Amino acid sequence: MEPKKMKMRSEGLAVFYQQYQALRGIDMNIAANRVTALIGPSGCGKSTFLRTLNRMNDLVEGTTIKGQVYLDEVPIYDKEVDVVGLRKRVGMVFQKPSVFPMSIYDNVAYGPRIHGIKNRSHLDEIVEKSLKAANLWDEMGSRLNSPANRMSGGQQQRLVIARVLAVDPEVILMDEPASALDPISTAKLEELISELKKNYTIVIVTHNMQQAARVSDYTGFFLSGALIEFNTTSELFVNPANRQTEDYITGRFG
């Protein structure tokens, strides 16, 4: 694969929860407009790594972070960094689809509103654009005022993505976004991810190796808080350089 522009980069990143070390010096490059998958057994640190990329770990009491993460070569763990601005640029989709108890419209408009957009027609425009980008407009465009929590799980997860897109991020982090979805909703979500990478940089944590192989361009394999192997997805799955990677992707443990 041709060398790509880097969007984010971690350098010697280590994370401690109290005494426990969850990440042991991770160096990783995240290519712009590509999908990077993070795989590994439960507790390997892949979700922790993901959550350092928009500083969601700051919310966990007793977390210490060493090393640095760069977004467009600007360090995000400096004192002067505005965390709110960072999270606006680096959005996140969680494991469990979690829509707010409001209408579909208000869910999508939530982000733009907190960032100060009040003009109704501008909001309408953002909501429509975001729902279209999340492949929800055809299903939900005529039901914008109905409660979001009445939608199916798959629709809710796409609404969550639309809500993230509405704040116009550059990077989208996804933490096992399909783990609570049925196979059809999962297929729709994967299709959406492939479309989104035209405009966004995507990092996805997944337990499902087929899913990593299907949607991602690069894959990183984590084990016990370390990044064991990082390569293009095709190379990592076909020719794993490391024995532990091979054992994991062939299903010998994990």
Partner 1 sequence: MAKNKWYDRMITAAFWSAGLFIVLILASIIAYIAVKGISAISLDFILQPPSRAGRAGGISTTIVSTVYLTLMSLLIAVPVGVGSAIYLQEYAHSQSRFGRLVNLIAETLAGIPSIVFGLFGFVFFVVFLDLGWSILSGSLTLAIMILPTITRTAQEAILAVAHEYRENSLALGASRWQTVSRVILPSALPGIVTGIILSIGRAVGETAAIILTAGSSLGMPIAPSDPARTMAVHLYLMAMEGISAERAFGTALLLVILIVIINYLANLSLKRFSQAVR
In the complex, the smallest distance separating the C-beta of residue 166 from partner 1, rounded to whole angstroms, is 8
Nearer Cβ to partner 1 (15/93): 93
Residues that bind partner 1 (CB under 8 A): 54, 56, 59, 61, 84-85, 87-88, 91-92, 94, 96, 98, 100-103, 110-111, 114-115, 147, 160, 163-164, 167
Closest separation in Å from C-beta 8 to partner 1: 16
Distance CA 109, CA 201 (A): 22
Choice between 55 and 132, CB closer to partner 1: 55
> Residues near 33 by Cβ (< 8 Å), separated by ≥ 6?
4, 5, 7, 197, 198, 199, 200, 201
Helix (H), strand (E) at residue 104: helix 104-114
**Closer of 100 and 241 to partner 1 (Cβ):** 100
Smaller CB separation from partner 1, 156 or 233: 156
Q: Answer whether 132's CB lies under 8 Å from 163's CB.
A: no
CB of 223 to partner 1, least distance (A): 26
Torsion-angle region of residue 59: left (phi > 0), alpha (psi -120 to 50) or beta? Answer: alpha
Compare residues 22 and 171 and give the one whose CB is closer to partner 1.
Answer: 171
In angstroms, what is the minimal distance from the CB of 96 to partner 1? Answer: 6
Question: What's the CA gap between 248 and 253, in Å, rounded?
Answer: 5
Q: Is 71 helix (H, G, I), strand (E, B) or coil?
A: strand
Distance CA 14, CA 77 (A): 12
CB of 18 to partner 1, least distance (A): 12
